[in-house]
């Protein structure tokens, strides 16, 4: 894999560092005790729940490692990781279950 150029990487690091700090500081630092509109809070509540699935769905359906072909081991690992996470609410258990499925299937299907 070719290394991305350093200017791009440092731009991303600096932008994310400043942006993330800004997001954390904005209310506690600037707003103080003033109340916020409920509609804004209502949308903020669902950002992570929306953006992470949107990021992964295409990676699961069209994985890069297989040239975009849907792939049984990766699909099964995705289903297992998601299901174990939903049932146990335990992130690490879900990661290990998903990884175990991926390696097991890759081994079995050789």
Partner 1 sequence: MATSTSKSYYWKGFRDGTPFIFVAVPFGTLFGVFATEAGLNIVQTMAFTSTVFAGAAQFAALQLLQDGTPTAIILISALAVNLRMAMYSASLTPYLGAAPLWQRAFAAYLTVDQSYACSIVQFEKEPGMTVAQRMAYFVGSVTPITPLWILATYLGAVLGTRIPESWALDFALPITFLAMIGPMMRTPAHVVAALVAILVSLLCAEVPYNLGLLIAGCAGMVAGAQAEVMLDRRKALP
- To partner 1, the closest distance from the beta carbon of 64 in angstroms equals 6
**Number of neighbours of residue 100 by Cβ within 10 angstroms:** 14
CB 80 within 8 A of CB 101: yes
d(CA 66, CA 50): 26
- To partner 1, the closest distance from the beta carbon of 108 in angstroms equals 14
Interaction with partner 1 in 77-106: which residues (CB under 8 A)?
A: 77-78, 81-92, 94-95, 98-99, 102-103, 106
- To partner 1, the closest distance from the beta carbon of 5 in angstroms equals 9
CA distances from 25 to 12, 17, 19 (A): 19, 12, 10
HEC per residue, 64-80 = HHHCCCCCHHHHHHHHH
Residue 72 within binding range of partner 1, rule CB under 8 A: no
Interaction with partner 1 in 6-35: which residues (CB under 8 A)?
A: 6, 8-13, 15-17, 19-21, 23-29, 31-33
Pattern of binders to partner 1 over 42-61, x per CB under 8 A?
A: xxxxxxxxxxxxxxxxxxxx
Residue 70 within binding range of partner 1, rule CB under 8 A: no
């Amino acid at each position: 894999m070719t290394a991305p150029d350093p200017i791009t990487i440092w731009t991303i690091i600096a932008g994310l560092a400043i942006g993330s700090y800004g997001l954390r500081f904005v209310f506690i630092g600037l707003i103080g005790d003033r109340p916020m509109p409920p509609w804004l809070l209502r949308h903020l509540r669902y950002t992570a729940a929306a953006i992470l699935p949107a990021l992964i769905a295409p990676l699961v359906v069209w994985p890069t490692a297989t040239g975009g072909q849907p792939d049984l081991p990766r699909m099964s690992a995705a289903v297992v990781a998601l299901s174990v996470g939903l049932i146990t609410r335990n992130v690490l258990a879900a990661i290990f279950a998903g990884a175990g499925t991926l390696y097991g299937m890759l081994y079995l299907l050789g």
